Amino acid sequence: MSCNEHTSASGHPTTMAATAHPATVLRDTYQRQRADGPAAILAIGTANPANRIEQDEFTDWYFRVTKSDHLTKLKAKLKKISDKSGIRKRHFYHTEETIGGHPEIIDRAAPSLGARQGITTDAAHNLAADVASRAIVAWGRPAADITHLVVSTNAGAHEPGADLRLAGLLGLRPAVRRTLLYLHGCSAGLAALRVAKDIAENNRGARVLVACTQASILLFSPPDDDLIDLLVAMALFGDGAGAVIVGADPTGPIERPVFHMVSASQTTLPGTEHAVVTNFSESGLANTNLSVEVPMLVRGSIERCLADSLAPLGLPDASNGGWNGLFWALHPGGRAILDSYEAALGLEPRKLAASRHVLSEYGNMSGATVIFVLDEIRRRRRRQDDSDKDCQWGVMSGLGPGLTIETLVLHATGSQDGSY
């Protein structure tokens, strides 16, 4: 039988051209492959490493483990930064013992990338498997029903990579389709969710597991008078992992969407490539630049970026005070970043309560942080006293190197069956 023939119901071969025009076949195939409705977040899981350090103890801990107690001025500066950070505690894969066992990590002249990744590879991937398992349990369907896996991480530059490792730990099918996003900074979680949304909406029946795990040991370094940005990083970043199940056209009663993912956008502010910089080197993520300009750039640009993202949807904008009519899941890059969002958009203080709470409890866990914020919003909306529970529309937003602004517009489900 030739390649343009098929067998009819009666068993006689016939040509495709005799039954349908190619354009019709292409259109029908395209429509069958796509979902009918928008992607939705079906379940969320979060977790942190066991090692916990209170923020008011961190400065003494950091200068002790880096053998830098003699740098009294830098120690006082870090103490001041930490006190103003809005952070209460953080969690880390690394401990004082692991740093002590790898003196190359606090020796700038010694290569330490292998040691850093050795500390976190197993720990970070195991934690990612733990949170993914939690999300799968909350989802209510077996892991074998996962069709796609999107992993975002900075822990372990290996091939095969973290995606294959996680698929094995979870017992996913060999045919699961994997995507690995490496680095991406603080916008990594949002970038992974954007990819998952596109997959879910363009592959009927797809169920996408997003896992994001980040390790701050790559940035860990002893204090230096010439590297003040490093002190900021030491005061802000922590470790954690988050997982989300994404899918369209939920099957009831098992699948109960939490948020619909209405639209996704990415904008890079021209001329800001210098604002957030980290470079991979033998010493980890070195030559870090976390520019003091970032809060100012946010204040000057974020309203226009968000208005452009929401305009096609016909949602409220700042012209009538509409920003306070939305709920907000902002990546808490730092207290100054949140303050800039609040000032630029005229947000009431309660609007960023979830982001500030996550920052306080965990610090900035890079790309995983926004998943913690989303989970915190989910919990708060369940409470009868939550002042934002009547806001149906919301915005997820975060910043990454570039300076890149990732935005997701969300719609909170109004019922347990996820109807909309």
Tell me which residues are annotated as active site: 186
Q: Are 163 and 278 in contact (CB under 8 A)?
A: no
Distance CA 361, CA 142 (A): 32
Per the CB < 8 A criterion, the answer to whether 102 and 115 are in contact is: yes
Q: How buried is 278 (Cβ within 10 angstroms: 0-12 exposed, 13-18 middle, 19+ buried)?
A: buried
**Is omega for the bond preceding 174 within 30 degrees of 0, making it cis?**
no
Given the DSSP bridges, would you call strands 393-400 and 404-412 parallel, antiparallel or unpaired? antiparallel
Place of tokens 């016909």: 314
- Coil, strand or helix at 375: helix
Give the HSE-up count for residue 119: Cα atoms under 13 Å, Cβ half-sphere: 28
- As a whole number of angstroms, the distance between CA 90 and CA 368 comes to 14
At 379, give phi and psi (nearest 5°). Answer: -65, -45
